[in-house]
Amino acid sequence: MKGRFDLVGIGMTSQRTRNRLVDRLREKGISDESVLAAVAAVPRHIFVDEALAHRAYEDTALPIGQGQTISQPFVVALMTQTLLDQPRDRVLEVGTGSGYQTAILATIGKLDRRVGKVFTVERLGALIDRARERLTAIGLRQVRFRHGDGYRGWPEEGPFDGILVTAAPRIVPEALLEQLAPGGRLVVPVGADTIQQLTVYDRTDRGIQQTTLDQVRFVPLVKGIQ
């Protein structure tokens, strides 16, 4: 399995290039050292097509096929940092995509245990198969994958202490709010257009509290499976 991927990288995919990305993220306001350590550790170049590997450590989104993208590293780091305002034992990711965000969450769990179990749901079967292969190649086997409709979440495994959504619904699915554990946090881009609002929902003893963080750009969250 590992022979299929250049996990170390050279030139524009080297550890030095990866570290420069970490420096840029720190300059842009990412302060969570666990998140930065995970960005430094995860070889983003294996999560994109080989032809785009030389661009893997640019702070930009890149196409991954099936009309989907691998998110901009700053947005990945921002969403992860926002989710992990405290340790989250059970985390659900909606929208596996390339598997890069999944790998960041699982790597944080491996490095300092601020993330426990990671569950990830993807509607496109071709993408989830590739993501599973990539995570296995880098030794992240504690992730549970599901080919399913992200709008439904993963009710059989809920509730979750954290939910992170990597595609944008017009309105937050009620099922995801219902699957938040007490004290749980949902981080999701919300909106119908090409630019959405990154929004946080916290389940408190007073009910769901909502906070809007920043404008972001994500592909839409689509119902059903394929």
Tens of pLDDT along 24-82? Answer: 999 999 999 999 999 999 999 999 988 999 999 999 999 998 778 899 999 999 999 99
Where does 60-216 sit in CATH, by number?
Answer: 3.40.50.150
Give the pLDDT score at 141.
Answer: 84
* Phi and psi angles of residue 198, each rounded to the nearest 5 degrees, phi first: -75, 120
Domain boundaries, the chain: 60-216
Give the pLDDT score at 192.
Answer: 82
- Which among 14, 31, 34, 71 is annotated as catalytic? 71
Average pLDDT over residues 127-152: 94
In the chain, the amino acid numbered 133 is E
Give the residue ranges of DSSP H helices in 28-173.
33-41, 73-83, 100-112, 125-137
- Tell me: pLDDT of 10 over 90: no
DSSP for residue 83: H
The token duo for 195 is 């630019």
**If pLDDT is split at 50, 70 and 90, which confidence band does 142 have?**
confident
pTM, full prediction: 0.93
- Tell me: pLDDT of 3 over 60: no
| Nearest partner of 120 among 84, 94, 153, judged by Cα | 94
Distance of alpha carbon 172 from alpha carbon 190, whole angstroms: 7
Distance of alpha carbon 42 from alpha carbon 34, whole angstroms: 12
For 69-116, how does the pLDDT look when each residue is reduced to its tens digit (9 = 90+)?
Answer: 899 999 999 999 999 999 999 999 999 999 999 999 999 999 999 999
**If pLDDT is split at 50, 70 and 90, which confidence band does 128 have?**
very high
DSSP for residue 72: P
Is 71 labeled as catalytic in the residue annotation? yes
- Tell me: pLDDT of 171 over 50: yes
Give the pLDDT score at 220.
Answer: 87
Q: Residue 22: which residues within 8 A CB-CB, separation 6 or more?
A: 36, 39, 40
Distance of alpha carbon 118 from alpha carbon 141, whole angstroms: 10
User: Which residues lie across from 195 on neighbouring strands?
Assistant: none
